[in-house]
Amino acid sequence: MFRFFENLVDPYVDYPQEDNPPRDLWPFFKSYSQPFKKVFAITAFMSVLVAGVEVGLIYYMGRLVDLLGQDPKAMWAEHGTELSVVAFFIVFLRPVLQAIDVALINNTILPNFGTLIRWRAHRQVLRQSVGWFENDFAGRIANRIMQTPPAAGEVVFQAFDAISFSLAYLIGAALLLATSDPRLLLPLAIWFGLYMVLSRWALSRIGPASKAASDARSVVTGRVVDAYTNIHSVKMFAHHDREELYAKEAIEEARKTFQVEQRIFTTMDFALVALNGLLIVGVVGWALALWVQGQASVGAVAAAATLTLRLNAMTGWIMWALSSFFRQLGVVAEGMETIAQPITLVDGPTAKPLQLSDGRIEMKGLTHHYGRSSGGLDAIDLVIEPGQKIGLVGRSGAGKSTLLKLLLRFYDAEAGRIEIDGQDITSVTQDSLRRQIGMVQQDSALLHRTVLENIRYGRPDATEAEAISAAQQAEAHEFIEGLQDPEGRTGYASRVGERGVKLSGGQRQRVTLARVILKDAPILLLDEATSALDSEVEAAIQKTLYGMMEGKTVIAIAHRLSTIAQMDRILVLDEGKIVEDGDHDALLASGGLYAQFWARQSGGFIGAEETEVE
């Protein structure tokens, strides 16, 4: 039975991905709820039906009290069949209806709706550009992805389990009282009016208060994750106290916002108890008055008393459900600030896969300042012939890394264009572009997976033997064989820790090199590819690097100038422009910036004052 309900909706069903998802709350819910439309309709019907059954039972209990006023034998003879049918319904059919209602909510909607939102939200966020991620905390993004689905599930749960049920119950209660005496509706109507005033007061405050509390919790998460992610810096500078205070500020703000939220609940609970007292006295007292006047039966009084006591018990639950409903809407609204952001860097509607034949790269008027007035690149014109090896040199902020990021289309250039084999990179799909480019970065972060999985990330369909061969070429095989993680996994099966923290910088860089060797892309980008290696390992890898470059179009950034001295061309960038272009000997002979860098480099690096911050 469980499997039937669990499989009514597939949370991974195909859907059209949107570059501009709905930014408003209800269109957002509507968009994500499409696969559940039929299930939601059936669940709403079942909630109303179950509520109707509960009201019907209260009505029948009143009728039963009236029947008990007859002679027992005569009552049984006249109504025995009726009582047996009702008993059969209560024992057998009512549980079935209740089970269907609960199963639809608990087994169909809750697990699948949250899963669908988490899956689609994660897919949406993964489509965002590198620049988008650079403008936010990874911890806060992840927190919103994780807390939005259960909040959305809670909204749906309360909509069916409490709101639709309670509305149906209230309507049924009004009908029941009206059948006894229409005048009994007056105290119920007055109570309901006051209850709605209280609800409106509470809910108008709970939504903003809940969002403020949720925002404050996200700030706490962001600050805590930031400290954990940079724990080496925290320890190195002995800033435990500073980090504690930094987190405490956010934690205290979260406490204050939560206090404001809870004050609303306390006020609401107090007012609710007073209102319910008026309900009980008003309805039951009036029913008793009618009974004294002979205008109502004992059964009617019993039904009215049972109904008001039931409503008294339900009102707290309903108010809490409504509060939870709007509180979770606040959490969803906060999550939407991340999930529903438009995708700004997209493939064009007619984008096709990159058809790479030679690997010729041409840049025309390439300009990008990250929205500022300076920094980045300024009107770069450059042609890199197929198979040519280019070295990039320049001071910090000269635009070297920006050029590589634009070539990978991590950003769209503010002006100008880049063509590969005559194809504008904005007219081809991003995935096809990046599959043709291999890159080794200075920050060689790894995924928290096994060494083998990290190497295969370059080419997932590679065999284990091919991955090991790549590791051997990158001078990584020997140290990998000696690895062991805390769970006892060894060698290529050992996990490297978050961002590869269990490996040294040189080890991470060699695994990264192995990954790029395995990828074997026709265009190769090297951003300080050997910066974390000691001289002995670097010397051993140099031959591998030059072997990797064979037959490829290569662009390499290096401060250790000896690593690019053998390049076909060396470009010197300064303030976003190419100021020198030539081979090593020609640039030395010209006596320009490159000659100055070479003359004052220490241990093969550009002078210490040229600290890279790009």
Q: What is the pLDDT of residues 246-296, one digit of tens each?
A: 999 999 999 999 999 888 888 888 888 888 888 788 888 878 887 888 877
H/E stretch holding 393: strand 389-394
Instruction: Tell me how far apart the alpha carbons of residues 587 and 394 are, in angstroms, rounded to a whole number.
Output: 13
How far, in Å, CA of 455 to CA of 466, rounded?
10
Q: What angle is formed at CA 204 by the lines to CA 198 and CA 210, rounded to 5 degrees?
A: 115
Dist CA 410 CA 358 (whole Å) = 23
Contact 337, 137 (CB under 8 A): no
pLDDT band at 534 (very low <50, low <70, confident <90, very high): low
Grade residue 533 by pLDDT with cuts at 50, 70 and 90. Answer: low
Quote the pTM value: 0.75
Identify the pLDDT of residue 610: 42
557 pLDDT more than 50: yes
Nearest by Cα to 301 from 62, 513, 576: 62
Query: What is the architecture of the domain spanning 447-520?
Result: 3-Layer(aba) Sandwich (3.40)
Among 227-241, 291-305, 361-375, which range has the highest average pLDDT? 361-375
Strand 553-557 and strand 389-394: pairing?
parallel
Between CA 611 and CA 208 the distance in angstroms is 47
Q: What is the per-residue pLDDT for 606? A: 53
How buried is 132 (Cβ within 10 angstroms: 0-12 exposed, 13-18 middle, 19+ buried)? Answer: middle
Q: How confident is the model at residue 603 (pLDDT cuts 50, 70, 90)?
A: very low
Q: Please tell me which residue, 13 or 278, carries the higher pLDDT value.
A: 13
- Chain centroid to Cα 28, Å, comes to 15
CATH of span 354-436+523-614: 3.40.50.300
- The predicted pLDDT at position 365 comes to 94
Cα–Cα distance for residue pair 504/568, rounded to 1 Å: 32
Please check the confidence at residue 337 and state whether its pLDDT lies above 80: yes
pLDDT of residue 187: 84
Percent of the chain with pLDDT over 70: 95
- 7-339 against 447-520: fold identical: no
For the structural domain made of 7-339, what CATH number should be given? 1.20.1560.10
Residue 24 pLDDT: 85
CA angle 533, 537, 538 (to 5 degrees): 65
Domain boundaries, the chain: 7-339, 354-436+523-614, 447-520
Return mean pLDDT, the chain: 85
Task: Give residue-wise pLDDT tens across range 475-529.
Answer: 889 999 998 888 888 999 999 877 677 787 778 888 988 999 999 999 999 887 7
Residue 310 to residue 120: CA distance in whole angstroms: 41
* Of 240, 271, 254, residue with least CA distance to 209: 254
20 secondary structure, DSSP code:
S
Contacts within 8 Å (CB) and 24+ apart, 591-599: 593/393, 593/394, 594/393, 594/570, 597/393, 597/561, 598/561
